Amino acid sequence: MNLQRENFRMVRKLAVIAALMFAFGFALVPIYKSICEMTGINILALGDRNIPGATPSMPTNTQVDTSRTITVEFDANSQGPWDFKPAQRSLQVHPGEMATVMYEFKNVQNRRMSAQAIPSYAPAQAGPHFNKLECFCFSQYTLEPGEMKSWPVVFVIDPKLSKDVKTITLSYTFFEVGGKTPAAPVAEVTAPGHAGVGT
């Protein structure tokens, strides 16, 4: 009998503990939200506040400088018998805004080849502020005879770039791996406020 009573007491204690744990877990959500709203440490909780005149929306990228527009020109140079070109010649972007451009490549030879691209920038001061998030220039590629590929370049221009820079030229030189690696194209200013790339 004593053993049964002890077991019953133990089951009751465990049931009470389980109920308390469930209640505590259920109460954690409103408690957490209240603490976050008071301290301002959770941007998601702050976004739930009722702000007069505000409508619920996705957070915007506050690092985009919409007061400036930069023209990015795209250039392609081939060190070999193949077709290499950007899908578009220019694009206008705001500093801090993510943008994508495609480059097209075709191996017109009757043999397999491996190649890689070298980027360069004009004016040269734009280079450190031209941040590539994805680029075919990060890797070498092998293409079969007649094979065609399209590769993206995803980039963001740092808002810290000098406001004097209105145009940036991104140039790629594509060369066959295993051959002599060519030097990057030399940047030169062709006109005030406009930069070009020498070939």
What pLDDT digit, counting tens, does each position of 131-144 carry? Answer: 999 998 888 888 89
Residues 40 and 74 in one domain: no
Residue 74: beta bridge partners?
A: 170
153 belongs to a structural domain:
yes
Residues 27 and 76 in one domain: no
Give the domain CATH number at 135: 2.60.370.10
Residues 37 and 100 in one domain: no
Residue, of 14 and 40, whose pLDDT is higher: 14
Between CA 68 and CA 52 the distance in angstroms is 30
Residue, of 174 and 181, whose pLDDT is higher: 174
Between CA 96 and CA 63 the distance in angstroms is 6
Residues 94 and 170 in one domain: yes
Residues 41 and 84 in one domain: no
Residues 41 and 74 in one domain: no
Between CA 95 and CA 98 the distance in angstroms is 9
62 belongs to a structural domain:
no
Residues 30 and 91 in one domain: no
What are 171's two structure tokens?
């140039």
Confidence of residue 101 (pLDDT cuts 50, 70, 90): very high
Q: How far is CA 195 from CA 16, 89, 138, 169, in A?
A: 75, 14, 25, 7
Q: Is 64 left (phi over 0), alpha (psi -120 to 50) or beta?
A: beta
Residues 22 and 84 in one domain: no
60 belongs to a structural domain:
no
pTM: 0.56
Domain carrying residue 29: 2-46
Between CA 115 and CA 61 the distance in angstroms is 36
7 belongs to a structural domain:
yes
42 belongs to a structural domain:
yes
Domain boundary among 14, 31, 46: 46
Q: How many domains does the chain have?
A: 2
Residues 40 and 135 in one domain: no
Q: What is the pLDDT of residue 182?
A: 44
Confidence of residue 157 (pLDDT cuts 50, 70, 90): very high
Residues 31 and 81 in one domain: no
* 169 pLDDT higher than 90: yes
Residues 40 and 104 in one domain: no
27 belongs to a structural domain:
yes
Q: Could you tell me the sign of the dihedral formed by the alpha carbons of 128, 129, 134, 137, in that order?
A: negative
145 belongs to a structural domain:
yes
Percent of the chain with pLDDT over 90: 27
Residues 108 and 181 in one domain: yes
Which residues have C-beta within 8 Å of that of residue 108, sequence separation ≥ 6?
81, 82, 83, 146
Tell me which residue has tokens 């004016």: 123
